[in-house]
Structure 1
Amino acid sequence: MTLQADARSALTAFSHQDPNQRALAKEYQELLDAHEDGVWRSCRVGHITASALVIEEQGRGVLLTLHPKVGRWLQLGGHLEPADASVLHGAVREVREESGIARGRISSVPVRLDRHDVPCGRDDDGRVLASVHWDMQFVVVVPNAIPPVISDESDDLAWFPSLSLPDVDASVQALCDDAERALSSPQDRGSKPMWVSFG
């Protein structure tokens, strides 16, 4: 299965109580219908990205990165790469690269979608290009607050109590809320298992 086909499959499996999220999933499908390279950063109008909110299972601590370009605390994530077998694998890779966390459980389908404008890449003259990230957001659960290893993709990396987050924007707060719902919902969501172990 191609990464494009996997993204379509993940979007088909995506379900959410918010009708705005369901409508957004249709727009994601339309992006993939219109652009054969919709999962790659070469798609200048916008492209699928993968991210994951890492949560510590017992105390519900949340791991966030202080993003150097954005200057805000965000979940871990980024662009898909040719070696990624799926969007889910892309999210796991990003968690490993950005935090050093190599074991845990990940939601088998995204828990939230978030589309946002970003500066992404440069043109031949070195000018920053505008693009759109169509982010597919997963949840990673680890048994305890594993000390993270900061990468060059972060200004800082830290665990925060889920009820005492730093200055995060509405999209991160919404992801935290959806992650809590995913953790408290039944394990069976139709035919797909809710959680997949990695590492």
Structure 2
Amino acid sequence: MSLHQDAVAVLTAWTAPTAGEDRLRSEFLEHLASHDDAMLRQCVPGHLTATTAVLSHDGARVLLTLHPKARMWLPMGGHCEPADSTLANVALREAVEESGIADLELLPGPLAVDKHQVWCHPPHSWHLDVEYAAVAPAGAEAVISEESLDLRWFPIGEIPEPSDEATRRLAARGHAALTSRSRAFG
């Protein structure tokens, strides 16, 4: 199965938690149907990306990067690469690369979708973002990459400005997913 086919399968099977996200899910599927290169950065007017909220082992904190272009505190994430085989793999790869934490555990997802304007193709294009969460092992230490101005852990309910509602929503949903999993297995 190609990455494109995986994205179609993931988004077709996903039940969006809000009406707005269901409309976005449908929009993403339409984009995939009309663009063979929808998974790659060169696709204009936009392309699918994957984002991951990296949570502490106990789910109390989220690791955010101070993004150099957006100048905002955001979760880890980015573009699909030709060698990627699944959206989940993209989400995990980006989280590991940007956090420096090798042993992340991706939670089942996606947890959210978001569409935001970016500057991949001047004057702008769109990221059609499929969002996940991952859990870091206890004692994990993040390492700032060249893709970040700063990297810090924040309590889930205390995400600083500047940030955005999508970051807060993803962190909260990641926390809820981890809490639910812990109750089921605890």
- Answer whether TM exceeds 0.5 for this pair: yes
Of the three residues 115, 127, 134, the one matched with 1:133 is: 127
Q: Cα 1:33–1:59, aligned 2, differ >3 Å: closer, same or farther?
A: closer
Separation (CA, whole Å) in 2 of partners of 1:117 and 1:12: 24
Of the three residues 115, 135, 140, the one matched with 1:146 is: 140
Q: Which structure 2 residue ranges, 5 or more long, are not aligned?
A: none
Letter in 2 for 1:173: R
Larger mean CA deviation between 133-142 and 104-113 belongs to 104-113
Separation (CA, whole Å) in 2 of partners of 1:19 and 1:41: 27
Please name the residue that 1:90 is paired with: 90
Conserved? CA contact 1:67–1:154, under 8 Å? yes
Separation (CA, whole Å) in 2 of partners of 1:160 and 1:52: 15
Letter in 1 for 2:143: V
Separation (CA, whole Å) in 2 of partners of 1:183 and 1:96: 18
* Alignment pair present for 1:178 and 2:173: yes
Letter in 1 for 2:8: R
Letter in 1 for 2:136: V
Conserved? CA contact 2:60–2:155, under 8 Å? yes
Structure 1 runs of 4+ aligned residues shifted over 6 Å read none
Separation (CA, whole Å) in 1 of partners of 2:24 and 2:131: 13
Separation (CA, whole Å) in 2 of partners of 1:9 and 1:76: 23
CA RMSD across the alignment: 1.6
Cα offset, 1:142, TM superposition = 1.7
Please name the residue that 2:159 is paired with: 165
Larger mean CA deviation between 41-50 and 96-105 belongs to 96-105
Separation (CA, whole Å) in 2 of partners of 1:80 and 1:72: 21
Please name the residue that 1:124 is paired with: none
Q: Cα 1:165–1:10, aligned 2, differ >3 Å: closer, same or farther?
A: same
Separation (CA, whole Å) in 2 of partners of 1:161 and 1:66: 16
1:72-120, CA deviations, whole angstroms, 9 ceiling, x for partnerless residues? 0000000000111211111111112111111122123210000001111
Q: Per the alignment, in what secondary structure is the counterpart of residue 27 of structure 2?
A: helix
Separation (CA, whole Å) in 2 of partners of 1:134 and 1:21: 11
Q: Per the alignment, in what secondary structure is the counterpart of residue 151 of structure 2?
A: strand
1:35-90, CA deviations, whole angstroms, 9 ceiling, x for partnerless residues? 11111111111000011000013251110000000000000000000111211111
Please name the residue that 1:66 is paired with: 66
Conserved? CA contact 2:77–2:94, under 8 Å? yes
Conserved? CA contact 1:13–1:109, under 8 Å? no
Cα offset, 1:161, TM superposition = 1.3
Q: Which structure 1 residue ranges, 5 or more long, are not aligned?
A: 122-127, 188-199
Cα offset, 1:164, TM superposition = 1.8
Separation (CA, whole Å) in 2 of partners of 1:26 and 1:182: 23
Separation (CA, whole Å) in 2 of partners of 1:9 and 1:185: 25
Please name the residue that 1:19 is paired with: 19
Percent identity (aligned) = 40
Please name the residue that 1:10 is paired with: 10
